[in-house]
Structure 1
Amino acid sequence: MHDEWMRQIDLELDGELSLPERAALARHLAGCRHCAEARVNHLEMRVAFARSAGDPHARTVPRPRLRGRTLAFWMAVSLAAGGAAGWLAHQRWGGPGPASLEASRATLVVQ
């Protein structure tokens, strides 16, 4: 059982776990002292290796895999897709019409 969690810890430190997998690992680490200590040991070992390899600014906190540009790109794509869907829906079914929005709602209910 701990072997699978150890593999998950290594993947997390490499930045290869998805957000749900990281959340599951965090829940497990909150309740399992053995795995939590193993994670700390892995972090300390990686920092020691990095510093011995000449990186004096080695960090103990793994960087998230999702970069700012990636997030901005997907936000722009989702906004463009939403705008295109709204425009297509307006072309297909039209807007509320010349009357007020409440009147058009009443017309839809009556019909």
Structure 2
Amino acid sequence: MLLAVKAVIAKSFERIHRSNLVDMGIISLCFKPGEDAHTKINRYTIHLPSKIHKIRPCQYVTITIDTGKSFTGTARFNTKVELAYFNHGGILPFVIRNLNKKKTI
């Protein structure tokens, strides 16, 4: 169970694993080529735009380590549909909200 996990950062993702994270409402981030976690770091601050509509597929984001050092990563939302899933907290809440909209119309 990924309770309370908001983001995962890695060198790369298999397509299906990245997609599954997005479907669960979790941000998947990639290090820039040639970069990785050189030390065991427990806390990151991810600087995303405050409004979901300002996030773009494969957008660069600043990530700050608890030591104060910052680096740039890539937010691995590959499509606008994935951004919609994330905005709703995952694919299941997205589908349920859309079903509820159709019932009230």
Q: Please report the TM-score for the alignment, with normalisation by the length of structure 2.
A: 0.28
Q: Please report the TM-score for the alignment, with normalisation by the length of structure 1.
A: 0.27
Identify, as 1 or 2, the structure richer in strand: 2
Identify, as 1 or 2, the structure richer in helix: 1
Q: Of the two structures, which has the highest relative contact order with CA contacts closer than 8 Å and spacing of 6 or more?
A: 2
